[in-house]
Amino acid sequence: MEKHELVIIGAGPAGLSAAIYARRAGIGTLVLEKGRPGGQILTTSRIENYPGLPEATGASLAEALRAHALSFAPRFMTGSVQKLSCCGADRIIELKDGSRITARAVIIASGAGFRRQGCPGEGRYTGLGVSYCAVCDAAFFEGLEVAVIGGGNTAVEEAVYLTGFASRVYLVHRRDTFRADSLAVERALANPRIVPVMDSVLEAIEGSDVVERILVRNVRSGEQRRIPVSGVFIFIGTLPHTEFLEEGLLRTKEGGWIVTDESMRTSVPGIFAAGDVRDTPLRQVITAAGDGARAAMAAYGYLHG
Ligand code: NAP
């Protein structure tokens, strides 16, 4: 069984920042990632609130973070975590391929993934018009009409991005005001290709072989209406990637978000959490990076204190 001083689960902004700080502190560090390093920002078109990088795209920032972390030579390994548990002072990580790794300390930086709507048609048409990633799929909808579901920053900002391809973007939100930042909302509402559909919920996604229309219901009037669209982009928030935690191992909040203190310490000594997977009021690239730095320093204190 491989043994490491520190294992970081996840190579998004939190995990990669933690790797930079851990390696600079001389900690032997393994970074485990199930896919391409970068995390959720890989699916983000534009990032305009990371200080110092006003023109960043998600992909460019992910690559810069990866290259920066690599320069401090942590070990990277591709692997999907099946289970995290404890055995005395050892933290045990089981991978889906059956291998096991032990670590003296672990930083969970596994992030969060999209939430599904759960309406009829969503599963059937995923990949056939239903998408959770505008950067990945917008180009398929050149000159076509699409719907975006949600009222947070992701929905509002990705709706604007989609207008670079689609001829019209219906922005369907369940309330009469958006949750997104006012600047993002102003920009979206000023865009002639965006048509807000307020106070409305998505009831069904319909079509034949591919998506052809959505059924929405106005929550105030109860009126139902069908809107012809070729694509549906669902951005209704995120859920933490914590399915690998042994039941009851760590203190979590409703929904599975991991509870930490200000130093990113979880309820179990030697296990830290950083970034979007944490119970935190603000989930941004900058807060994830800051969390990663603090988690690495707390891990250093745990390992060498
Ligand atoms: P979010 O802020 O949680 O917003 C989710 C949106 O989906 C809300 O408008 C919510 O409606 C709606 N919603 C939730 N469940 C729904 C359901 N079952 N049916 C219909 N609508 C539903 O999620 P997010 O936009 O993905 O953002 C996640 C985090 O990343 C946030 O902290 C956000 O600020 C951050 N973020 C920041 C930026 C940026 O700063 N540039 C960009 C992207 C994301 P209600 O409003 O009614 O609750």
Q: What is the pLDDT of residue 117?
A: 97
Structure tokens at 176: 């009469």
pLDDT given at position 305: 83
Residues of the chain with pLDDT below 50 are none
- Residues with catalytic roles: 133, 136-137
Residue at token pair 């994830």: 288
Q: Tell whether domain 2-111+241-304 is in CATH 3.50.50.60.
A: yes
pLDDT of residue 48: 87
What is the third-level CATH fold of 115-237? FAD/NAD(P)-binding domain (3.50.50)
pLDDT for 214: 98
| HEC readout, 59-124 | HHHHHHHHHHHHCCCCEEEECCEEEEEEECCEEEEEECCCCEEEEEEEEECCCEEECCCCCCCHHH
Q: Which of 48, 49, 117, 154 to mutate to test the pocket of ligand 1 (most atoms within 8 A of CB)?
A: 154
Ligand 1 pocket test: which of 132, 179, 239 has the largest number of ligand atoms within 8 Å of its C-beta? 179
Q: Whose CA is nearest to atom 11 of ligand 1?
A: 151
pTM: 0.89
Ligand 1 site, residue 235, Cβ cutoff 6 A: yes
Model pLDDT, residue 44: 86
User: What is the Cα–Cα distance from 147 to 224, expressed in whole angstroms?
Assistant: 16
CA–centroid distance, 153 to ligand 1, in Å, is: 6
In angstroms, the CA 270 to CA 89 distance is 8
246 CA distance to ligand 1 middle (Å): 28
What number of other Cβ atoms are within 10 A of residue 62's Cβ? 26
Ligand 1 pocket member 133 (CB < 6 A): no
Distance from residue 178's CA to the centre of ligand 1 (Å): 9
Which residue matches tokens 């600047």? 183
Q: Strand, coil or helix: what is 3?
A: strand
- Domain residue limits, the chain: 2-111+241-304, 115-237
Give the length of the chain. Answer: 305
Do the domains at 2-111+241-304 and 115-237 have one common CATH topology?
Answer: yes
- Count Cβ atoms below 10 Å from residue 263 Cβ, excluding itself: 13
- The side-by-side arrangement of strands in the sheet containing 130-131 is 130-131, 231-234, 145-149, 168-172, 194-197
Q: List, for residues 212-256, the tens digit of each pLDDT value.
A: 999 999 999 999 999 999 999 999 999 999 999 988 999 999 999
